[in-house]
Structure 1
């Protein structure tokens, strides 16, 4: 029996990887950021899953692979690329390439299924000298990431891959390299080993049902395919996650005191809650729970809402994209505006990054009487972006600063005026709390980037129409909330 056959038999445990029982190193991001989604993989009803395509991630993966292969070919011209599509053949081909002593091996696959772990590796590089099972050489890992800085899950992912490599070759490389945009980082796998074992123990606890992690707040309580299910679970439980601004520690304090649902909090004595939580969190939690119980906003501060009006009232929203290049340059490609007086949607679209300046100039020129106009937006992003672009585009700096000066942040205004029956003050949470729905289920902010990118390549107007409809709904969500909160009965707290 050859060396690679013996290694395959040892580390395959006579089977192929199965994500129902085995952990792939790439799932480290989900383990850290979406552990409830992993819990659902094992314990939620399979029929409750709803697949939601992530076009942005799919496009990014394709672009990343192209950029990665280009970097590998340029820096390691003698690289052997594993071409096998079948996961079993990929692992066998990796072992055979290591046994042959290839100088570098790209798209490698490594398993240790007796310990229920496996991984993919961008590049294995041969290091002569120290004796391994393959001979007087061993391999080290290089991973390529599109980010500018090392993320926690990168370090853990590469540390797990390094551990599997060590178990196979019999040599433990202390460091693994991660190539980021613009810099080369080293991960000390020895220092990461204890943390790695903790995270793998957490995964095993999730898998065997001894640990159920907390979901996130709706509307993204978990990732696809469990987002819809997780949102439903959190909502139906009347979970304390539905209360904005509370940390996990604060929620635990409430639970330990017997307040396990928003109904419990709504029926509590506010003075008692203030002995458990400091203000403003006690008061915020109490009145938000009242809002949930009655499905109505509770007045927080009089005289704040409705917002001031002028002759022209415009609700606007930006869409920005990445260019999916090595430079990862971002630009605003769409300014959407709902004109309240004209009762219509206006859009300014840049066909490329060179037209970004033009659409802002056109936006300003659309405004007939700047001194009699208010620009309503949601969050500070739009104002910050226009202030920063004033430095980038000095020829229209005066227009950009004038636009920023017309702005009024509805999120700040509504948050100051009301406690809402909403898990956060994001537009995607606040507007649906009162019945607003986006018309497209398959087009969000990240999808819009992909549709726009493909429209630029193909000229297919159906793609840009989906982007425009999504942006229009963002604008309509703002005016919907604005008008709805003026007509709905408001609960006034008892003094």
Structure 2
């Protein structure tokens, strides 16, 4: 069996993804998203910065086996820095598995020469992995450990350390003693799963799955089976507990007594999951059982503002501050887009936005995530907005998402704005577009000046603002309906 670091990384993130990458029907695989290509491009820029003026050599062959031999030749020569090397070692067997031969392949970003005896002479090599992530994730540490493990077998000694270079460019050491054991366990598990002809079960986790090319395929299976992972709040650990209780469907979860669920999950989680399952099965919106006794009403005003931000995190810029303006008294509705057409215009659009919202000092400002509040505070400090002016804006914010998750259960698979608004009949102009795509569009706009891309981003932002308004209006009508009016007294 051939096991590469890429395959092991995918296995650590999702066993099913690793299996499908080897054995799945390619016709079921979606094309790679633009955002992934953007991340790959940015990671290469990150690597280029790390390499800087450092002289390096690299293998030339396209064939990975030949490339591995060339890497060993460069190591034997004592080259200071080897870029894009390939580490390869074959094991006749692997403890805990039945396979006769296992070939492990790793592709560290660079190999750096260090003092200390090895089969090469009075030097040896350690690996450095350059990643774009903000944090030293477990899967990054695992793959760094794999590279050190391979180096130990190739050069006859273990490196003293292995490092990760992340977005901050600060090196992170990997605890080699801890991760050595974890690596062996993960390789064993991976070999067992990939040796079994049965594909691993579907589990939908949107945060991890949404960029995967197999997502549509897996989601289709989960929907057809009404898989429990489609219920918000069902984590992998909770799913395991539900399986042990004999609960395999959303309908069964909806009809299981909370007291029975509570013995395994705790009373609060049990009530939350059962309520959520019931809402999905019966297609109804219900009050959360564990909501606060006193219901906070949505603020109202003659003028109301609905606010959303588009940002490019890798360029550290908030480039679009969108406001959907509604004047109920004069029956006026209009969308205002404060757009930074260059990276340098962020300050300009900030001051324009502040001047605009200050024209309506009594107007509540509705938004749909903590990001808007955090960003207003950050931009206000960054550009010297007087504290009383900033507080006058931030104090009017109303997070609709926070309100929903405090009081209501919706028959949805996710509490994202798109999921909630779609469930209530609102649909975006650009079908199938996500916030990730708008980031790619903005990057391309900066490079090409294609006005159509900027217009598409503005339309998308306007839809977000209008969807927030649609959701807020629905909530207001729901609260004030005859069935719920008693709760307000």
TM-score for both structures, normalised by structure 1:
0.83
Quick one: which of 193, 206, 213 aligns to 2:180? 193
Matches within 5 A, 1:67-466: 67-74=46-53, 76-77=54-55, 79-112=56-89, 114-132=101-119, 134-180=120-166, 181-209=168-196, 212=200, 215-218=203-206, 221=209, 223-300=211-288, 304=295, 307-324=298-315, 330-341=316-327, 342-367=332-357, 369-440=359-430, 443-466=433-456
- 1:242–1:61 Cα change, 3 Å: closer
**Structure 1 position 237, deviation (Å):** 2.3
C-alpha contact 2:358 2:393 (8 A) present in aligned 1: no
Return the alpha-carbon distance in structure 2 between the equivalents of residues 82 and 357 of structure 1.
46
TM-score for both structures, normalised by structure 2:
0.84
Return the alpha-carbon distance in structure 2 between the equivalents of residues 176 and 31 of structure 1.
21
- SS of residue matched to 1:105: strand
C-alpha contact 2:74 2:82 (8 A) present in aligned 1: yes
Higher relative contact order (CA 8 A, sep 6+): 1
Cα deviations by residue, 1:422-480 (Å, 9 ceiling, x for unpaired): 23322243333445444435642233223212312322212212322322222233233
Deviates most, 23-32 or 413-422: 23-32
C-alpha contact 1:91 1:111 (8 A) present in aligned 2: yes
**Structure 1 position 211, deviation (Å):** 7.7
Cα deviations by residue, 1:244-277 (Å, 9 ceiling, x for unpaired): 2344333333332222211012223344444444
- 1:479–1:393 Cα change, 3 Å: same
Return the alpha-carbon distance in structure 2 between the equivalents of residues 45 and 106 of structure 1.
34
Two-structure CA RMSD over aligned residues (Å): 3.2
Question: Between Structure 1 and Structure 2, how many residues are aligned?
Answer: 465
Return the alpha-carbon distance in structure 2 between the equivalents of residues 93 and 62 of structure 1.
26
| Unmatched tracts of structure 2, length 5 or more | 91-100, 485-489
Q: Which residue of 1 aligns with 2:487?
A: none
- 1:294–1:413 Cα change, 3 Å: same
| Unmatched tracts of structure 1, length 5 or more | 1-20, 325-329
Quick one: which of 15, 20, 25 aligns to 1:35? 15
